[in-house]
Amino acid sequence: MKYRILGNSGLKVSSMGLGCMGMSFSYGKPADKKEMIDLLHKAVDLGVNFFDTAEIYGPFTNEILLGEALSPLREKIVLATKFGFKLDPSGAARWVGVDSRPSHIREVVEASLKRLQTDRIDLLYQHRVDPSVPIEDVAGTVQQLIQEGKVLHFGLSEAGPNTIRRAHAIQPVTALQSEYSLWTRGIETEILPVLEELGIGLVPYSPLGRGFLTGKIDASTTFEENDFRAMLPRFTQEARLANQALVDELSLIGHARNATAAQVALAWLLAKKPWIVPIPGTTKYHRLVENMGTVNITLSAMDVEILDTAAKNINIVGSRYPDSLEEMTGK
């Protein structure tokens, strides 16, 4: 494994982290708990030290899983979790809005610490911007938690450039977590320059396009009823058929490099900036090995240019979220 520093923070993490959401939530039936504990242990054995979760994943079950699996290995790992959603008060496993009130942030942190079986959260993200709470109040609350030793680093997710600047002025932001991949490049124009200017790392989620860029999903693929992708415009059968052209480019370069399409997609991200740390998720050991093996693949400048040109010239069909969810990003 190779390692990177997130921006100017000094936080050293494996060049490829592990997004853990899919182990418990969003992609069909939750995986077997014992199998996932074993997978998490194997990730540590491979040198992975950066693990990403959130209270909303489940809700709660993913944090519980990581707490049980990783608490014995706590000194070897960097734990990232998130606050910022309002859960259904009826107890139903769903969120009903955003909530970054200072009192709520503290409630979430205390609960997350217990579920994760730890005394500190290495990287705490605001999961989504709350337009009703000034970001200065959010940053100030996290700053207090840092002073208390309950949190070590502050992060944002899907925040726009103005929000990033305002938050960073109160409490330095270690990392921004936003969707970024060859087929989702909306942050390149305004966000990436701000991150570079301020010394903030980028943690791309869904770096494999929720599995599509692996080449293992095509127009004939069917999704379980509780698979989040079934409701996404970019995953309709027509969109998958149209978007196959990008996967074909990945496979072409991969064939020349003795690499998979997934590895090329991840290597493209690593080649973009030294402070970018993708967090692909998986529930399968062979995929874990495949993804983490990307750190030993170096794309040439020509490879990157070919992929950039292909992504620019291929019209990606379908928005990444339904309109109701897209409105919650990029504030």
% of the chain at pLDDT higher than 90 = 89
Output the pLDDT for position 93.
65
Could you tell me if residue 309 is inside a domain? no
Could you tell me if residue 219 is inside a domain? no
CATH number at residue 110: 3.20.20.100
The model carries a pTM of 0.96
Residue 204 has pLDDT above 90, yes or no: yes
Output the pLDDT for position 323.
79
Could you tell me if residue 218 is inside a domain? no
Residue 331 has pLDDT above 60, yes or no: no
Q: What is the mean pLDDT of residues 76-94?
A: 87
Residue 330 has pLDDT above 60, yes or no: no
Output the pLDDT for position 27.
86
The answer to whether the CB of 182 falls within 8 A of the CB of 246 is yes
Could you tell me if residue 16 is inside a domain? yes
The torsion angles phi and psi of 287, rounded to 5 degrees, stand at -70, -35
Owning domain of residue 97: 3-209+273-297
Residue 326 has pLDDT above 70, yes or no: no
Distance CA 50, CA 305 (A): 29
Q: What is the mean pLDDT of residues 290-302?
A: 95
Could you tell me if residue 68 is inside a domain? yes
Structure tokens at 169: 């002025």
Kindly report the average pLDDT of the chain as a whole number: 94
pLDDT (tens digit per residue) in 123-153: 999 999 999 999 999 999 999 999 999 999 9
Distance CA 311, CA 71 (A): 41
Output the pLDDT for position 88.
81
| Helical axes 285-292 vs 33-45, angle rounded to 10° | 30
Q: Which of 258, 251, 262 is nearest to 212 (CA)?
A: 262
Could you tell me if residue 200 is inside a domain? yes
Could you tell me if residue 75 is inside a domain? yes
The answer to whether the CB of 52 falls within 8 A of the CB of 63 is no
Residue 317 has pLDDT above 60, yes or no: yes
pLDDT (tens digit per residue) in 45-71: 999 999 999 999 999 999 999 999 999
- Confidence class for position 321, pLDDT limits 50, 70, 90: confident
Q: What is the mean pLDDT of residues 172-182?
A: 98
The residue assigned the tokens 């608490």 is: 71
Catalytic residue status for 57? yes
Q: Which of 175, 54, 49, 155 is nearest to 112 (CA)?
A: 54
**What separation in angstroms does the CA of 327 have from each of 14, 88, 159, 284?**
32, 20, 12, 33
| Helix count and strand count (H, E) for the chain | 11, 11
Which helix (H) or strand (E) segment holds residue 39: the answer is helix 33-45
List 57, 125, 180, 205, catalytic entry: 57
User: Structural domain tally of the chain?
Assistant: 1
Q: Higher pLDDT residue, 225 or 139?
A: 139
Q: Which residues of 238-275 are buried (b: 16+ CB within 10 A; e: fewer)?
A: ebbebbbebbebbeebbeebebbbbbbbbbbbbbbeeb
Residue 285 has pLDDT above 70, yes or no: yes
pLDDT (tens digit per residue) in 3-34: 999 999 999 999 999 999 999 988 888 999 99
Output the pLDDT for position 28.
83
Could you tell me if residue 325 is inside a domain? no
